[in-house]
A and B are shown apart, each in its own frame.
Chain A
């Protein structure tokens, strides 16, 4: 059954989750009202709303290029191998789970970042210490796996992981 637009009698083809305010709010709109909603700047110009607007616009764009609901749902299920966060979790809370998310969700984040900042390349200060990023993200993954091993009461694996963490930490110092 087709859903009606919340603002008129046309069919709702845009399904937007508004993340500003306390609870995420579902919006079902026809194309005209969705465009009006996405381009209006009535919302407060806060961090969260620029984020929400960028997210909503991205979803609308994906719908517009003909991705089906199933394809979007599949996208939402993708998770980061390092911290375990799903793309859906990121979308609903507006916060990423670890530095590696910028790498593994790159195709989704790229247009979002461009939308928020109008740029995609950092110009400015860099830290003097070079981060060996592969080793670093490995530590995040190892700690998570250790926590999971403990939760599953697999103490042998947990202690192996602990040793591995210590070794990696030492190499990094």
Chain B
């Protein structure tokens, strides 16, 4: 398997299946781990980094089922390929933009990714479509055990797993659930939800993590605290709160349908119309409009379109994906034209055999 093979698919987290998949995009857990006998990344020499990379690569490729795995040297990648992996949530922005020996291992279903030499020596991540933290925890815990059979992690009796940043110490675990909450945004209740989440030490981030805007009404809810609670407790806290937010979102959708059906239908139809006819369109506008269309599909306002297809458009219209799919480097203006063309082709084709866009 090669990196280019990934581009045409949409990966596990956008599969659009699993429990509550109309609102919950994905469930993800990552563990931060460090080797006991090397400095953390900030103090690591180039040689240290190379050795850490060698040790972890050997270990990762040694675990069973790794034959199905793609091991990518991130340092050697072209900029567009790094960006591509960020858009797919397989590496972090920090991992894409930093310097020195670093890599990522990805399984062919894109369910797990193991980043080597990111902020910590190793970040093990498992992601699943829909709301399914239980199976994600099982998988990530097992991967962690398998790697630990041959390497010794930095661990402190009282503080737990030691990490480069004290915000991750203890379990080293971040549980994130990505939600699509357009109705809470339209009804202006989203801020209220955020404030109540912050009160119980949960963080809310945008689609692409720290500091990213909430593009397309996607929000990631995750734990801030990593110390002093067991993995199960941390998972349960998120697991208990997510159904409450799902319920709010459904109530907001019901409200919109009952109280302003025409406005809602109009909003969804206009968004769909623009996406199917625009000749040049930015990534931000695309996300914004796709968000309305996605909700419209879930509410039965657009009968001939599926959620997996919409999810795929969210990712395939990102800058690096567009360039990978078209096979050429494009500047912003050309990307906007190519994006509009891509949307017209796919949305008109999906629409029950209407006239396909001719290029």
Whether the Cβ atoms of B43 and A122 lie closer than 8 Å is: no
The chain A residue sitting closest to B35, CB to CB, is A136
Which residue from B36, B173, B204 sits with its C-beta under 8 Å from A133?
Answer: B36
Considering the complex, give the chain A residue whose CB is closest to the CB of B160.
A122
Kindly state the separation between the CA atoms of A88 and B256 in the bound complex, as whole angstroms.
53
A-B contact count (CB 8 A): 165
Q: Which residues of B contact A128 (CB under 8 A)?
A: 145, 148
State the CA gap A116–B201 with chains docked (Å): 10
Q: Point out residues on B near A: beta carbons under 8 Å.
A: 34, 36-43, 45, 47-48, 119, 141, 144-145, 148-149, 152-156, 158-162, 164-171, 173, 198, 201, 203-205, 210-211, 224-231, 233
Further contacts, 16 of them, CB under 8 A, given A89-B42, A122-B158, A137-B37: A47-B165, A47-B203, A51-B165, A95-B42, A117-B169, A117-B170, A117-B227, A121-B227, A122-B170, A124-B231, A127-B148, A129-B152, A131-B155, A136-B37, A140-B38, A140-B39
* Min distance, Cβ B41 to any Cβ of chain A, angstroms: 7
Which one of A2-10, A29-37, A38-46, A63-71 contacts B? A38-46
What residues of A have a CB within 8 angstroms of the CB of B36 in the complex? Answer: 99, 131, 133, 136
Query: Is A163 in contact with chain B by the CB < 8 A criterion?
Result: no
A127 CA to B171 CA, complexed, in Å: 11
Tell me if A77 counts as interface (CB < 8 A to partner B): no
- With both beta carbons as reference points, the residue of chain A lying nearest to B163 in the complex is identified as A96
Contact A98 B230 (CB under 8 A): no
State whether the Cβ of A118 lies closer than 8 Å to any Cβ in chain B.
yes
For the complex, give the distance between the alpha carbons of A137 and B225 in Å: 27
Which residue in A46, A99, A116, A118 is a CB contact (below 8 Å) of B154?
A99
- Given contacts A95-B42, A119-B227, A139-B37, whether A48 and B159 have CB atoms under 8 Å apart is no
Q: How far is the CA of A125 from the CA of B226 in the complex (A)?
A: 12
A95, A99, A129 interface centre (most CB from chain B within 10 Å): A99
Residues of chain A contacted by B233 (CB below 8 angstroms): 123
A125 to B159, CA, bound (A): 11
A131 surroundings in chain B (CB, below 8 A): 36, 152-155
Nearest neighbor of B174 in chain A, beta-carbon distance? A47
Chain A residues proximal to chain B, CB less than 8 Å: 41, 44-48, 50-51, 82-85, 89, 93-99, 102-103, 109, 112-113, 116-129, 131, 133, 135-137, 139-140, 143-144, 147, 169, 172
Do residues B210 and A47 form an inter-chain contact, with CB atoms below 8 A?
Answer: yes
Q: Which of A45, A51, A102, A122 has the most CB of B within 10 A?
A: A122
Closest approach, in angstroms, between the C-beta of A96 and any C-beta of chain B?
6
**Contact flag A98-B47 (CB < 8 Å), given A46-B211, A51-B167, A112-B166:** no
Docked complex Cα distance between A169 and B211 (Å): 41
20 A-B pairs with CB atoms under 8 Å apart are A44-B211, A50-B167, A84-B43, A95-B42, A97-B39, A99-B36, A99-B156, A109-B166, A113-B169, A118-B225, A120-B158, A121-B228, A122-B160, A125-B141, A125-B171, A126-B155, A126-B160, A127-B153, A128-B145, A143-B38
Shortest beta-carbon distance from A30 to chain B in Å = 27
A133 to B43, CA, bound (A): 18
A44 and B233 alpha carbons, distance in the complex (Å): 24
A127 near B152 with CB under 8 A, answer yes
A124–B43 CB distance below 8 A = no
- A70→B149 CA distance, assembly (Å): 48
Contact A99 B171 (CB under 8 A): no
- A116 nearest in chain B by CB position: B167
Chain A residue at minimal CB-CB distance from B201 = A118
Contacts of A45 in B (CB 8 A): 198, 203-204, 224
What residues on A are CB-neighbors of B226 within 8 Å?
A: 117
Q: Which residues of chain B have C-beta atoms less than 8 A from A136's C-beta?
A: 36-37, 152, 154
Q: For residue B41, which residues in chain A have a CB less than 8 angstroms away from its CB?
A: 95
Cα A128 to Cα B141 with chains together (Å)? 13
Residues of A within 8 A of B158 (CB): 120-122
Q: Which residue of A lies closest to B170 (CB)?
A: A122
Q: How far is the CA of A117 from the CA of B225 in the complex (A)?
A: 5
Within the complex, what minimum Cβ distance (angstroms) separates A133 from chain B? 7
Neighbour of B166 across the interface among A46, A82, A96, CB < 8 A:
A96
Please give, as numbers and ranges, the residues of chain A lying within 8 Å of B170 by CB-CB distance.
117, 119, 122, 124
Q: Report the separation of the CA atoms of residues A144 and B167 in the bound assembly, to the nearest whole angstrom.
A: 26
